[in-house]
Amino acid sequence: MTMSTAQDTQGLLWEVFVQSKPGQPHKHSGSVHAHDKEMALQNARDLYCRRSEGTNIWVVPASEIVASSPEDIGSFFEPSNDKVYRHPTFYHVPEGITHM
Amino acid sequence: MDQIKLEENFQAKLDRNEMIEPKDWMPENYRKHLIRQISQHAHSEIIGMLPEGNWITRAPSMRRKIVLLAKVQDEAGHGLYLYSAAESMGISRDELLDQLHTGKAKYSSIFNYPTLTWSDIGAVGWLVDGAAIMNQVMLQRTSYGPYARAMVRICKEESFHQRQGFEIMQVLAKGTPEQKAMAQDSLNRWWWPSLMMFGPADDNSPNSANALKWKIKRESNDQLRQRFVNQTVPQVEYLGLTVPDKDLKWNEEKKGYDFGEVNWEEFYNVIKGNGPCNKERLSAKVQSHKDGAWVREAANAYAAKKNKVAAA
Amino acid sequence: MTNQEALVNYCLRLADNNLILGHRLSELSGKGPFLEEDIATTNIALDLIGQASSLLQYAAEVEGKGRTEDDLAFLRGEREFYNTLLAEQENKDFAVTIARQFLTDAFDYFFYDELKKSADARLAALAEKSHKEITYHLRHTSKWMERLGEGTEESHRRIQDAVDNLWRFTGELFEMNEVDEILLKEKIAVDLNVVKIQWDKLVAEVFANSGISIPENVFMQRGSREGKHTEKLGYLLAEMQHLHRAFPGVQW
């Protein structure tokens, strides 16, 4: 990763999460550049909600997001693969029993 | 893991049609290839605003004015999505713009042609966006995740662009003889440059082999070009206009059109910087970037002051 | 002047403000200081031109002479436009764009809030929709007033210059004539004295927040209510109308 040589500022990179309808979870829409929080919010609105896409927006500085690494796949996610008892299909429900 | 093993794993992943994500291991050439391609694509969207923007203030009706303004704005948005995708590979927007402004980075040559009359706005929307969409539909399945996701959003938004261009052409082609002549003139000037948008012929395209192996591209330049001709010729006929190619002929055997040879000399000349508007396009971008420098500085200074107050 | 003539003129006044200012903003497409702001400016332009379109359609209907919104936009001459002098001023730099927009947004915010109560149901409905859009515009531009006023020395100087230069066009925003008198009686028009009090207060607040001083002892220019404009408008119309006028009577 190279450092920028340009002596200019395009602001920080922010990640945008948009809620499409009330009650729905926020989903990642993309990124914007902005110099401050209010600008990030407005830029997100102006870019990602031009076609009635949203009812609420979160913006987060990209540098504040902590992500797991591809190398973590084994230790993070595979251990849950054999915990089948966490899923309802693991259990036998006698015939005739409903609402369960 | 050694280099060979890493590369084998990488290729195996691609062959299983799995996506590559920013933090995944990738060969340096893959990264370079993608930064180049995504940034070229982003620059094309941004430079592409200029020929159409040239007619926003002269659009001949309220409806056309609003639609064109919204369309050109979409291109800005698409440039932005693509810059973000490139940034996920570790290059900053400052650097990307710097490459554009200093002439180091390329963009689609089509935008170095001028929009001389109103019907050029129709032709650009219909042919140039039509050709671009063909490429972009394919790129929705490109192997780099952020690029593919940007393309999905772009394709969704682009769906009205080609239609608005065709609508303009339709009105003109069915209008007065003067309007129809204007439409034919635009088709004559934009047809061949549109075919050039798919890039050099397959046997002369140095980057294509890697792009196909890495599943960045999934179809070759010539395949896409052929599909574009097949789809567009019936549209030209519907308009009652004539394709400016005397060699154009339906080939029953290949179920497609045979068409004349693209003028590759012109193609390479425009790439080299000798197109009618190369200088104008670049200097317009450099100028607005310069004009905006004090605004960006102010926004930065303001944010710094506010952060200081918040921290105190 | 009949009530009908008054209403047509009133609609044109509002429509022309939006059309001419929207046109000015549309000139900036692709020229923003950075991409995000380019997109934001165009959003405002689209809102304004959309509002103009609805208002011109209504003006054409009320007039009842078979003219369309396009006839009104593209076939009226320099002396038949009623937009404010402020709306037609050139972009020059980002500070002028923001100052012109902020001064207008602050007016429109209170104006359309009042117009929601209009006895004319169509205008009231248009106002309802417009007010939402303007609320956002005002939020956008008042924040930029602050950023520029409190940013760097250069940005402060530029925004103060812009305000100083544009201030002379703010007096006529509140001017009322026979049209207003007739329509105020019908409870259709907005009392601009009410808007003036709120506008003064908000502008003072935002300026204070931004370290911008209110210009003093400025001679106010006027004339737009009678279609008397600055020289800038003629050029704008020449560009906007030439293609439409070059092919009379055709479809686009």
Give the three-class secondary structure for B198: coil
The pLDDT tens digits of the residues spanning B105-131 come to: 999 999 999 999 999 999 999 999 999
* Residue C53 with chain B: CB contacts under 8 Å: 62-63, 66
Domain that holds residue C41: 3-246
* % of chain C with per-residue pLDDT over 90: 100
pLDDT band at A5 (very low <50, low <70, confident <90, very high): very low
Task: Count up the domains in chain C and report the number.
Answer: 1
Q: Tell me whether residue C63 is in a domain.
A: yes
Over residues C190-195, the mean pLDDT reads 98
Which residues in chain B have Cβ-Cβ distances shorter than 8 Å to C158?
294
Q: Output the domain CATH number for residue C51.
A: 1.20.1260.10
Locate the chain C residue with the closest alpha carbon to A50: C43
pLDDT at A78: 85
Longest Cα–Cα distance in chain C: 54
Which residue among A1, A9, A13 places its CB closest to the CB of B296? A9
Mean pLDDT of all residues belonging to chain A: 87
Instruction: Tell whether C57 is covered by a domain.
Output: yes
pTM of the model: 0.94
Instruction: Please give the pLDDT value at position B261.
Output: 96
pLDDT (tens digit, 9 = 90+) per residue, B202-253? 988 877 888 888 998 889 999 999 999 999 999 999 999 999 999 999 999 9
The CA-atom distances, in angstroms, between A87 and each of A73, A90, A95, A98, B11 are 21, 6, 19, 18, 34
Q: What crossing angle do the helices spanning B28-53 and B278-291 adopt, rounded to 10°?
A: 90
**Residue B141's pLDDT is what?**
93
Is C250 in contact with B175 (Cβ distance < 8 A)?
yes
Kind of pairing, strands A26-34 and A56-61? unpaired
Distance CA C195, CA C78 (A): 28
Contact B146, B85 (CB under 8 A): yes
Q: Are B173 and B236 in contact (CB under 8 A)?
A: no
Task: Name the DSSP class of B296.
Answer: H
Percentage with pLDDT > 70 across chain C: 100
Contacts of A15 in chain B (CB under 8 A): none
CB C24 within 8 A of CB C35: no
Share of chain B above pLDDT 90, in %: 89
Please report residues of B whose CB lies closer than 8 A to that of A70: 21, 23-25
Helices B129-139/B145-173 angle, 10° precision = 160
- Written in H, E and C, the secondary structure of B213-271 is HCCCCCCCHHHHHHHHHHHHHHHHHHHCCCCCCCCCEEECCCCEEECCCCCHHHHHHHH
Digit-coded pLDDT (tens) for C88-116? 999 999 999 999 999 999 999 999 999 99
Closest CA–CA distance from residue A24 to any residue of chain C (Å): 24
Please give the pLDDT value at position C167.
98
Question: What is this model's ipTM?
Answer: 0.96
Give me C2's structure tokens.
């009949």
Asked if residue A75 has pLDDT above 50, the reply is yes
Residue C252 lies inside a defined structural domain of this protein: no
Tokens 């208002």 found at: C55
C148 with B64: Cβ contact below 8 A: no
Q: Can you give the length of chain C in residues?
A: 252
What is the per-residue pLDDT for A8? 66
Distance between C99 CA and the closest CA of chain A, angstroms: 18
Q: Please give the span between the terminal C-alpha atoms of chain C, in angstroms, as a whole number.
A: 35
C81 within a domain of the structure (yes/no): yes
The pLDDT, as a whole number, for residue B1 is: 66
Using an 8 Å Cβ cutoff, are C8 and C63 in contact?
yes
Average pLDDT, chain B: 95
pLDDT digits (tens, 9 = 90+) for B23-76: 899 999 999 999 999 999 999 999 999 999 999 999 999 999 999 999 999 999
**Cβ distance of C35 and A34 shorter than 8 Å:** no
Contact: C143, A38; criterion CB under 8 Å: yes
Phi, psi at B26, each rounded to 5°: -150, 150
Say if C49 falls within a structural domain: yes
Q: Which chains touch B (3 or more CB pairs under 8 A)?
A: A, C
